[in-house]
Amino acid sequence: MKAIVYTKYGTPDVLHLEDVKKPVLVEEKVLVKVHAASINTGDYFWLGGMRATTFCIGLGAFIGRAN
């Protein structure tokens, strides 16, 4: 499975596409195939290294289908 990942804080240049293991489906959990995802101001500041104690970060938004 492909995923956009980052291993250090920084500008959007630290994001890269790589192959990752597909998550294991366990009881009482849902696996969602994401078709599109958003980035908001909180995500931008978090990627840059600003901690959640400084900036309130909510849940991310995505469009997908339960598998």
- Residue 50 is part of which domain span? 2-19+31-66
- Domain membership flag for residue 59: yes
**How many independent structural domains does the chain possess?**
1
pLDDT of residue 66: 66
Least confident of 14-18, 26-30, 56-60: 56-60
Choice between 22 and 53, residue whose per-residue pLDDT is larger: 22
The DSSP 8-state label assigned to residue 53 in this structure reads T
Choice between 46 and 26, residue whose per-residue pLDDT is larger: 26
- Domain membership flag for residue 24: no
- Domain membership flag for residue 26: no
- Domain membership flag for residue 7: yes
Given a contact cutoff of 8 angstroms between Cβ atoms, the answer to whether 47 and 10 are in contact is yes
Residue for token pair 């366990």: 26
pLDDT of residue 19: 94
Q: What is the mean pLDDT of the chain?
A: 75
Alpha carbon 61 to chain centroid, angstroms: 10
